Amino acid sequence: MKRTFDFVGLNTVISEASKPLHAVDPTLARKAGMDAGVGGTNPKNCHYSYFAEEDLETEWYLGYRQGKQNREEA
């Protein structure tokens, strides 16, 4: 079996992931954490910008725990 690798696609993903998000606030960080807790992590809801400051990281984890709790209750 021959395997091919999409280097252009990988480069696009890395380029997008390395761009900082604009106007990240604690509310947005909590929403991203909740999204990760409910539906699983992905590059959008686990962007490094949510962890750039301690207050943003704290809010992300609060949202993550709330999202996981809501998923378990459903």
CA dihedral over 1, 12, 58, 67, signed as positive or negative:
negative
13 pLDDT higher than 70? no
Q: Look at 39 and 11; give whichever has higher pLDDT.
A: 39
Mean pLDDT (whole number) for 47-60: 94
pLDDT at position 16: 67
Whether residue 20 contacts residue 51, with contact meaning beta carbons closer than 8 Å, is answered with no
Q: What are the respective helix, strand and coil percentages of the chain, to the nearest 5?
A: 70, 0, 30
Residue-wise pLDDT tens digits, 18-46: 777 888 999 999 999 999 999 999 888 99
35 in helix, strand or coil?
Answer: helix
What pLDDT, on the 0 to 100 scale, is given for residue 2? 72
Q: Which of 58, 68, 59 is nearest to 36 (CA)?
A: 68
Q: Tokens 């910008």 sit at which residue?
A: 49
Q: What is the pLDDT of residue 10?
A: 66
